[in-house]
Amino acid sequence: MHLFRAPNCTYYTRICYPKSLRDMGFPFDVKISLLTKTRAIAKKRNLRVILAVNQAMDSITTETVPGEFKSSLNKQIDAVRLSFSDVSAEGVPLRFATKGKIEVRGPNLAVKQCEQVPLKLALEMFISSKSKEGVRTLTVQQLHQRISHFIDAIKPDFTDEVTSACALGYRDLLLDEGRSHKTNKDYLAASSQLFKWCCLMQFTDANPFALITLKQHSLVEPNSARTRWQKRDLQALFSHEEFQKAENDLKWATLLMMFQGLRPSEACQLRTADVIKQEGLYCIKINNGGEKQRVKNASSLRILPIHQFLLKHGFIELVERANKAKRVQLFSYIPTNQNEDWSRQYCQYFGRMQNRMGMKPGSRPTPYGFRHTFIDELKQHEVDENIVAELVGHKNQKITFGRYGKKYKISLLKKYVDVISYDIDCTRLF
């Protein structure tokens, strides 16, 4: 019997049976993994597991059937592991020394003393704590909305009233209400987050949502979740008078998505200064240098050579005109409402235009679909996944640091953006 340590504090305990037992027909050994914050906690927990296994082994007689013993041992080990949930990550017991009295301190919260914490108060405190984490306001708003949905449905008054049975009942209710699988998962995750926080605050002993799952998997294939634009859709769009008479901003933003694979918001927030020259080639720099300009995440930062189609139809001239007019933003789109949503105006104009074209919401391809189309076209042309990932700003974990870590040359990327060709007639567009 020995302990060894694996990276990131996963501790494995491997228990090898003594030879005498192996001779009796116990050809297996037991492997237990424990994930903890510190080595000290892992050691303590391992000792408890080993104790349980030792006790079980002592009960082995010549009558013991190996298969049955294995399953009963597994149950005992699980029971020990489950008992760890009464201990927080730092190894501090969650139970109070003075049970029932709760003391809360926070910058904006007076010291409170009460027998139980009202759930709505806990929610407000959680939300206020969450909004300090530097996440987008919409994220916090969405969390609030989804947890409120749970509270309104089940109507518990206090944090410690919520049992796993309540949580399960709520799950069933969600399943009846007919949202998508992923949305249901996110609803459950929101409430789970609240109770996780309640555990840390010592408002509750356990997270009632911890073991609640949805089981049935989403039937939607990940790569067909949103429909791409087929070539005939693109041709129909280009030859439709609604698109031809649309504002230039809308046309150009659309072209940027089609030919460069930009996200709608990335196209809408482009500045004139983001069109640069590198290695002698015109490029678009996706960055967060401007006022209110932002990127989705670190891997979104990238420099893209501009596609020949855009060059041919006057993209550089457009930028130069904007420069001459001393415009900071390339387009007239501005981040609207408190969410500072850059793509909203564009997406709404585009959606209304599609309505006029007779394309029905829900079944029509959407602006984000241009990005799917871009990626899919490159995929169909057997372009290396790493190249595509870099063009669209995805993180690619397959590239090993130090070996393939260098960025591709702009001239190489240029060769690949130009692979895009939709073969559409655009003589009347410009």
- Nearest distance from residue 183's CB to DNA, in Å? 4
The distance of closest approach from Cβ of residue 31 to DNA in the complex, given in angstroms and rounded to an integer, is 6
Tell me the torsion sign for CA atoms 37, 39, 40, 41. Answer: positive
| Angle at the Cα of 401 from the Cα atoms of 395 and 405, rounded to 5 degrees | 70
Q: Minimum CB separation from DNA for residue 103, in Å?
A: 25
113 phi and psi, to 5 degrees?
Answer: -130, 120
Give one DSSP letter per residue of 136-170, joined into a string. Answer: -HHHHHHHHHHHHHHHHHH---BGGG--HHHHHHH
H/E run at residue 103: strand 102-106
- Minimum gap (Å) between residue 248 Cβ and DNA: 16
Q: What is the closest distance, in whole angstroms, from the C-beta atom of residue 350 to DNA in the complex?
A: 7
The edge-to-edge listing of strands for the beta sheet with 275-278 is 275-278, 281-286, 302-305
Angstrom distance (rounded) from CA 373 to CA 369: 6
- Minimum distance of DNA from residue 358's CB (angstroms): 13
Give min distance, CB of 164 to DNA, in A: 14
Asked if 242 contacts 356 with a C-beta cutoff of 8 angstroms, the reply is yes
- Of 24 and 153, nearer to DNA (C-beta) is 153
Beta strands at 30-35 and 275-278: parallel, antiparallel or unpaired: unpaired
State which residue, 12 or 422, has the beta carbon closest to DNA. Answer: 12
**Nearer CB in complex with DNA: 268/413:** 268
Find the shortest distance in angstroms from Cβ 59 to DNA.
Answer: 26
Q: What is the 3-state secondary structure (H, E, C) of 243-270?
A: HHCCCHHHHHHHHHHHHHCCCHHHHHCC
CA dist 198 and 186 (Å) reads 18
User: Within 10 Å of residue 376's Cβ, how many Cβ atoms?
Assistant: 16
Which of 160/186 has CB closer to DNA?
186
| Nearest CA-CA partner of 256 in 371, 405, 136 | 371
User: Residue with structure tokens 């995440």?
Assistant: 297
271 beta partners: 329
Q: State the nearest-atom distance from the C-beta of 222 to DNA, in Å.
A: 6
Of 148 and 278, nearer to DNA (C-beta) is 148
* Rounded distance between C-alpha atoms, residue 369 and residue 262, angstroms: 11
Q: Which is nearer to DNA, 101 or 226 (CB)?
A: 226
Of 120 and 185, the one with the shorter C-beta distance to DNA is 185
**Closest C-alpha to 218, from 183, 182, 176:** 182
For DNA, the closer of residues 59 and 163 by Cβ is 163
The Cα–Cα gap between 275 and 391 comes to 16
Nearer to DNA, 327 or 364 (CB): 364
State how far the Cα of 273 lies from the Cα of 329, in Å rounded to an integer.
8
Closest Cα to residue 116, out of 173, 164, 157, 170?
157
Least distance in angstroms from the C-beta of 292 to DNA? 11
Q: 370 and 257 in contact (C-beta within 8 Å)?
A: yes
Q: Which is nearer to DNA, 192 or 272 (CB)?
A: 192
